[in-house]
C-alpha cells in the first residue's frame, strides 16, 4: 500500500481521505483548521503542521481545497508541498475546483518539479464522498491516469477522462456553470408558480419528475418552496458564486456566449453581498423576490 499526503480535509476531503485509509493506505494529512481533521486521526491518519511535511515521502499527493488562492498557498507557499523534498514521479492529484488558467499554471509548476500531474475535480456531495460514490472528471496523460487508478478507485463509482491536463477542469467549469443557471431558472419558476397560486407541493413533485428534472432542480426546488436555506448546508452560496465566476471566465476565454451565466453570477453575487455566503445557494430565490 502507498503513503498518501492528503491536503485539505474539509467537507469533501474528509470523506475522500477516509476512503483511502479504509483501502489500506497510510495517510499524512494537513488541514488549515486542525479540529476538522480529528476524525481522520481517529481512523489512523497522521496529522502534520504543514503541507510540506505531509508531502515528504509520499507516493501520492491529493489536494482538495476551496479556490485558486488556497491552492496556491498549499502548493507554492513558504511551507507548501513544492518546498518539500519530493520523490521524482510522485503523483500530484488536484481534486479542487479551480480556474482553468490556474490549473494550467499549476500543472506546469508541478511537472517542472518532476511530479506527475492530474487535474481531477469531482462531482458529488459529502455523503457521496464518504461512500466512495463520487464521479471524477479527469485531465492528464494516459500513463499518469493508469498509475493513479488504484488510488482513484476507492473514491468513485465512475470517472471520465476528457483529455490532457486541464480537460477535467474545463468540463467541471462547464457543468458547474450550467448548474448555476439551472438553480436561478428554478428559482424564477418557483416564484412564478407562487404568484400563480399553484399548489407548491404539487409543483415541486411535478418539477422533480418532469422534463426539467435535473439534479439541481430536484435538490433545490423543495428547499426553495419550503425554506430552510440555512439547514444542513452542503454547498454554500460562497462556493456557488466562486464556481459561477470561474465558469463565466472560462466561457469568455473560449469565446462563447455566456449571457445566462452572467445573469446567474449577478444573482449569486447579490446573495453573498447581502450577507448570506454561508447559506445554501437555493437562497437565491429570496434575493430574487426583491
For CA atoms 199, 200, 201, 207, the dihedral sign is: positive
Per the listing, cell 483529455 goes with: 163
Whole-number pLDDT of residue 25: 97
Where along the chain do its domains lie? 3-165, 170-289
The set of residues, in sequence order, having a beta carbon less than 8 Å from that of 201 and lying 6+ positions away, is: 225
Longest dimension (CA), the chain: 65
Q: How far apart are CA 4 and CA 28, in angstroms?
A: 6
Report the CATH number of the 170-289 domain.
1.10.1040.10
Whole-number pLDDT of residue 234: 86
Report the CATH number of the 3-165 domain.
3.40.50.720
How far is residue 282 from each of residues 188, 192, 199, 261, measured CA to CA in Å? 11, 16, 20, 16
- List per-block mean pLDDT (blocks of 10 residues) for the chain, which spans 290 residues: 95 96 97 91 95 97 97 97 95 98 97 97 96 98 98 97 98 97 97 97 96 94 93 92 98 94 97 96 93
Whole-number pLDDT of residue 34: 87
Whole-number pLDDT of residue 57: 95
Whole-number pLDDT of residue 90: 97
Residue 176, Cα to own-chain centre: how many angstroms? 9
How far is residue 187 from each of residues 67, 177, 190, 235, 256, measured CA to CA in Å? 26, 16, 5, 17, 25
Strand partners, 26: 3
Q: Which H or E run includes 200?
A: helix 200-209
Q: Is 92 helix (H, G, I), strand (E, B) or coil?
A: strand
Q: How far apart are CA 119 and CA 98, in angstroms?
A: 9
Hey, do 3-165 and 170-289 end up sharing a CATH topology, with the first three levels equal? Answer: no
Nearest alpha-carbon partner for 120 in 142, 92, 101: 92
How many other CB atoms are there within 10 angstroms of residue 238's CB atom? 18
What own/partner pairs with CB < 8 Å and gap ≥ 24 does 126-132 have?
Answer: 126/11, 126/12, 126/14, 126/15, 126/234, 127/15, 128/15, 129/11, 129/12, 129/13, 129/14, 129/15, 129/16, 129/19, 129/155, 130/14, 130/15, 130/18, 130/19, 131/15, 132/19, 132/156, 132/157
pTM to 2 decimal places: 0.94
Residue 12, Cα to own-chain centre: how many angstroms? 8
Amino acid at each position: 500500500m502507498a503513503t498518501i499526503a492528503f491536503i485539505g480535509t474539509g467537507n469533501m476531503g474528509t470523506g475522500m481521505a477516509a476512503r483511502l485509509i479504509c483501502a489500506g493506505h497510510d495517510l499524512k494529512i494537513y488541514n488549515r483548521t486542525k479540529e476538522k481533521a480529528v476524525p481522520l486521526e481517529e481512523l489512523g491518519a497522521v496529522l502534520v503542521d504543514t503541507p510540506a511535511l505531509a508531502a515528504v515521502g509520499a507516493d501520492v499527493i491529493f489536494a482538495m481545497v476551496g479556490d485558486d488562492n488556497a491552492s496556491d498557498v498549499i502548493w507554492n507557499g513558504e511551507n507548501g508541498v513544492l518546498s518539500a523534498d519530493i520523490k521524482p514521479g510522485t503523483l500530484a492529484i488536484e481534486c479542487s475546483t479551480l480556474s482553468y488558467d490556474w490549473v494550467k499554471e499549476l500543472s506546469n509548476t508541478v511537472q517542472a518539479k518532476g511530479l506527475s500531474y492530474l487535474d481531477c475535480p469531482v462531482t458529488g456531495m459529502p455523503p457521496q464522498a464518504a461512500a466512495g460514490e463520487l464521479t471524477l472528471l479527469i485531465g492528464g496523460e494516459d500513463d499518469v491516469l493508469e498509475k493513479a487508478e488504484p488510488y482513484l478507485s476507492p473514491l468513485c463509482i465512475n470517472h471520465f477522462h476528457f483529455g490532457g491536463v486541464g480537460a477535467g477542469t474545463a468540463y467541471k467549469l462547464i457543468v458547474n456553470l450550467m448548474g448555476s443557471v439551472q438553480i436561478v431558472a428554478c428559482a424564477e419558476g418557483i416564484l412564478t408558480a407562487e404568484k400563480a397560486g399553484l399548489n407548491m407541493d404539487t409543483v415541486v413533485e411535478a418539477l422533480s419528475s418532469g422534463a426539467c428534472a435535473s439534479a439541481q432542480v430536484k435538490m433545490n426546488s423543495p428547499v426553495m418552496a419550503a425554506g430552510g436555506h440555512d439547514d444542513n448546508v452542503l454547498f454554500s452560496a460562497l462556493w456557488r458564486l466562486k464556481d459561477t465566476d470561474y465558469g463565466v471566465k472560462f466561457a469568455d476565454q473560449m469565446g462563447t456566449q455566456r449571457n445566462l451565466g452572467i445573469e446567474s453570477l449577478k444573482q449569486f453575487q447579490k446573495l453573498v453581498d447581502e450577507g448570506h455566503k454561508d447559506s445554501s445557494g437555493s437562497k437565491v430565490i429570496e434575493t430574487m423576490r426583491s
